């Protein structure tokens, strides 16, 4: 019946494998690679991507609570290089999931590192073909201005320089 047909299908697969490989040797692909090795490398790549996605999700969670911890986690796990451009690119790439308030607080920081990230964050925007009001709207769409006047001043000063 149906079970016998399924067993026959397995026999066919084994027969095909048997034609391309000696007993005990892995089957090969037309390019000469091992199907088993190819499958293993695909599985490893998939597992690696799953782990990376989990680490990024964890970093986003951390960032939304304490931005410095989220960025530190990304750098520690080699998911983002420790450069202002790489961190700014992460902030744009994951903007949908990150707290816009926390982004504003983070890039408004007063230490050299966060100021350099803020500069990279703003520099990654292109206002070339926009009027001033549209530029400001686009600029403010990526984060919320922090509450502290000095932070707002630093951010808007950089915007004005563009």
Cβ proximity of 72 and 78 under 8 Å: no
Dist CA 99 CA 105 (whole Å): 10
**Residue 28, phi then psi, degrees to nearest 5:** -115, 155
* Distances 158 to 121, 150, 153 between C-alpha atoms, Å: 10, 13, 9
Is there a catalytic annotation at residue 157?
no
Q: From CA 99, how far away is CA 142, in angstroms rounded?
A: 10
Catalytic residue, chosen from 25, 61, 110, 148, is: 148
Alpha-carbon distance of 42 to 133, in angstroms, equals: 48
CB 67 within 8 A of CB 102: yes
So which residues are the catalytic ones? 148
């Amino acid at each position: 019946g149906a079970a016998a047909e399924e067993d026959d299908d397995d026999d066919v697969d084994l027969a095909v494998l048997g034609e391309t490989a000696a007993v005990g040797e892995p089957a090969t692909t037309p390019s000469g690679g091992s199907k088993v090795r190819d499958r293993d490398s695909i599985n490893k790549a998939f597992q690696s991507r799953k782990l990376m996605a989990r680490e990024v999700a964890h970093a986003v969670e951390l960032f939304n609570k304490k931005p410095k911890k989220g960025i530190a986690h990304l750098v520690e796990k080699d998911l983002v290089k420790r450069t202002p451009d790489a961190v700014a690119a992460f902030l744009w790439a994951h903007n949908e999931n990150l707290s816009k308030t926390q982004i504003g607080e983070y890039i408004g920081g007063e230490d050299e590192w966060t100021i350099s990230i803020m500069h990279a964050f703003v520099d990654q925007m292109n206002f070339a073909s926009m009027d001033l009001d549209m530029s400001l709207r686009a600029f403010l769409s990526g984060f919320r201005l922090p509450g502290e006047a000095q932070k707002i001043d630093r951010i808007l000063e950089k915007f004005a320089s563009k």
